[in-house]
Structure 1
Amino acid sequence: MTGPTVVIAGVGRFGDLHARVWAEAGARITGLVDPDTARLAEVARTRRVDQTATELAPLLDRVRPDVVVIAADEAAHTGLALTALEAGSHVFVEKPLALSAADAWRIAETAAAHQRQVVVGHISRFTAPMTRMRAGVERGAVGRLCALRLRRDFSRAWFLSFGDRVHPVWESCIHDIDLAISFARTRVRRVVAMQSGAAGDAAPSVVSALLEFDNGVIATVESAWLVPATAPGTLDDGPLALDGAIVGEAEVLGLDGVLKQRLVSDSLVEWTRAGVQVPDLSLWPEEDGVVGGALRREVGYALAVFTGRRQPDVMPVEEACWGVEAAEAVVESLRTGAPVELPVRR
């Protein structure tokens, strides 16, 4: 039995990793799309893909894939997703789904009209600790959910190299906005946020936001691109090596208990000539020659949804739209310095 056919739209480092993981999960990569012709040729050669194009629509006319995986720049997500859905393909799109609530809901509505599925790549939902924490909340381990505290800090060097490529709320805070939604399972109704340009004035390098949900749950979401170069590396090797660190914590508070998780764990520390490493083993570790971890689970989930073997229960597109709404409100609150009330969606 052959697996679903997949086109990858956007073949930068993460798009190339997606090509590998989807193939390892049993899909057939039948086409690649990227405006950078040199990069496109390189990845096509490495992944042994014959069909390539600089635009998505002409390639879809030729290969008619079951799935389009979108790993292009954030601003391109909406156009690529709509093109894929209207051509009859399911869509996996890296976070965020879109850069505006209007575009996010347009994608969701187009998917429904064409009876296609959309899975958004909020990888943090698929890490083992978050899966366990969410299951604990759902079975009542902490009693009534009251509050969430979420923090995610990045290396300052990353801010200096690509921190202004897109507003940092869409790059970093969107992860924890989505996690908060995955626990609260409802919409955000009010947001207030503050920022600092401590690492440089190209974009806010420090963001702190308070979210109030429709069910009364309160969440704090914080992000600072200030981790120094002397911090232990967390992603320095493996299938997607990044020189730097992601450091953070997640806390779930209920009337009957608290669940806590740290993104950097001292369960494995490596002291070598290269320095001190605290390698992340949750996102995309290489295991027995294949990519595992949250990325493999995320892709496996998406394939099961696209082939009708399970319902879109872990990452419903509606919740991705709620996340875009909330992130857009955070950006607006940062701009105005005032609280933002989200409109009720009918």
Structure 2
Amino acid sequence: MIQLAVIGAGRFGSLHIEILQTIAEVNVLAVVEPDPQRLKEVQEKYHIPHGFSSVEELWQLEVDAVDITSNEDTHGAIILEALHHNKKVFVEKPLATSREEINKIRKTARAGQIMTGHISRFSQEQISIKKALEEGVLGKLSQIRAIRDFNRSWFQGFGHRVHPVFESGIHDLDLIIWYADAQWKTVYAMESHAVGETSPDSFQALIEFENGLQAVIMSSWMLPEGAPPTLNELGTLDLQGTIKEYIELIGTKGTAKYQQPNAGFQVWTEKEAGEPDTRLWPPGIHGPGGALKRELEYFCECLLQNKNFDWMPLEQACASFYLAEAIIASGKTKQIITREETNDS
């Protein structure tokens, strides 16, 4: 039985708890949340025996692993504390937001100790694309195009906390790195500050890989509130709005693409015409399912079987960070950034 603590009890932390409580051989023993009212609500709702207001208090308890769902800029420090206490770690993306923390994590972590929550790798559509690549169906990859857009209200609510490359963009950077199966070589990026926040509300980047592959990534947090919702009251996450995404792979023998919203499933009401997501964390027979449940089940399975996280290796999570960092630098300087300049080794 895995004794597990969830660190961060916001909307996504609560969703993690709900899913973890449906997984056999897992006991959510504790939750950490600095907001006392929120801590009380989550403990009572999910019947969690131990609640703490700080991570430091958690280590008095015997837990095997932690699930980190706190704000992005806290991830690195909490991971390093968990490693110091010899715990296994699941951390929502991004792994960390500073190079110093990333480098310390790489030096400190043992094999099979950390898994980063890049949920798109556990989406059935992306798994199928990866299998098509591995089986040679698409031939040699020539180009990848990726777009991911979110609501403007989300940016005002929480998106501005970090550069969007670490929030929306990191999903597609991870997929691009996974599909490319090569080191990136150069990157050139642009960004927009139309809303007037310190963090850009939109960015785009052109990435060249050492094997000749080219990738384009674009992300904007400017979708209007009238966009067809993919998250609404029919879903399991306490968030309403639209995730618009598109990814296309072009190879010498074929192409593959996925897009959301799509017309495969629609719900029309007096209020809106929506296309609810059935992929990431849809309602299931025994609670939320989809890619998020597959991801957390995989983490727990690896813990129980003492296996490495081969589907989501630490080094690829680090590679996403270094590329994201280069995109930020290029967007600010308006210069091409090379991998050699970043010391990404």
- Normalising by structure 2, we get a TM-score of 0.95
Letter of the structure 2 residue corresponding to residue 141 of structure 1: V
2:3 is the alignment partner of 1:5? yes
Structure 1 contact 164–203 (Cα < 8 Å) conserved = yes
Matched with 2:323 is 326
Taking only aligned residues, the RMSD between alpha carbons, in angstroms, comes to 1.5
1:227 to 223, 229, 234: 223
The 1-side partners of 2:188 and 2:17 are apart by: 39
**Cα deviation, residue 46, structure 1:** 1.0
The 2-side partners of 1:191 and 1:103 are apart by: 23
The 1-side partners of 2:55 and 2:32 are apart by: 6
- Alignment: residue pair count: 341
2:259 is the alignment partner of 1:256? no
**Cα deviation, residue 173, structure 1:** 0.8
Q: Matched residues, percent identical?
A: 36
Matched with 1:152 is 148
Within 5 Å, which residues of 2 pair with 1:59-208? Answer: 59-61=58-60, 63-112=61-110, 116-208=112-204
Q: 1:104-146 CA deviation, whole Å, 9 max, x = no partner?
A: 232132112xx55111011111111001001111111111112
Structure 1 contact 64–89 (Cα < 8 Å) conserved = no
**Cα deviation, residue 213, structure 1:** 2.0
**Cα deviation, residue 166, structure 1:** 1.3
The 2-side partners of 1:66 and 1:315 are apart by: 20
Structure 1 contact 249–262 (Cα < 8 Å) conserved = yes
The 2-side partners of 1:227 and 1:199 are apart by: 12
The 1-side partners of 2:85 and 2:101 are apart by: 18
Secondary structure, aligned partner of 2:89:
strand
The 2-side partners of 1:99 and 1:278 are apart by: 33
- Normalising by structure 1, we get a TM-score of 0.94
2:50 is the alignment partner of 1:51? yes
Structure 2 contact 30–50 (Cα < 8 Å) conserved = yes
- Cα distance change of structure 1 residues 201 and 52 upon mapping to structure 2, 3 Å threshold: closer
**Cα deviation, residue 186, structure 1:** 3.0
Structure 2 contact 31–50 (Cα < 8 Å) conserved = yes
1:341 to 329, 338, 341: 338
Matched with 1:244 is 241
1:286 to 261, 280, 283: 283
**Cα deviation, residue 302, structure 1:** 0.7
The 1-side partners of 2:213 and 2:105 are apart by: 28
Matched with 1:217 is 213
Structure 1 contact 100–325 (Cα < 8 Å) conserved = no
Q: 1:252-281 CA deviation, whole Å, 9 max, x = no partner?
A: 111111001102110111111121110000
The 2-side partners of 1:84 and 1:71 are apart by: 14
Q: 1:59-87 CA deviation, whole Å, 9 max, x = no partner?
A: 122x2211100001111101111111111
The 2-side partners of 1:345 and 1:275 are apart by: 46
Matched with 2:264 is 267
The 2-side partners of 1:242 and 1:37 are apart by: 21
The 2-side partners of 1:342 and 1:169 are apart by: 17
2:304 is the alignment partner of 1:307? yes
Letter of the structure 2 residue corresponding to residue 217 of structure 1: L
Q: 1:192-228 CA deviation, whole Å, 9 max, x = no partner?
A: 1001123334431121111122322211110011211
**Cα deviation, residue 345, structure 1:** 4.4
Letter of the structure 1 residue corresponding to residue 254 of structure 2: G
Secondary structure, aligned partner of 2:305:
coil
**Cα deviation, residue 100, structure 1:** 2.4
Letter of the structure 2 residue corresponding to residue 60 of structure 1: W
Structure 2 contact 90–299 (Cα < 8 Å) conserved = yes
Structure 1 contact 85–110 (Cα < 8 Å) conserved = yes
**Cα deviation, residue 242, structure 1:** 2.0
The 1-side partners of 2:53 and 2:184 are apart by: 38
* Structure 2 gap ranges (5+): none
The 2-side partners of 1:313 and 1:163 are apart by: 30
**Cα deviation, residue 309, structure 1:** 5.6
**Cα deviation, residue 101, structure 1:** 3.3
Structure 1 contact 10–72 (Cα < 8 Å) conserved = yes
Structure 1 contact 75–98 (Cα < 8 Å) conserved = yes
Secondary structure, aligned partner of 2:258:
strand
Secondary structure, aligned partner of 2:335:
coil
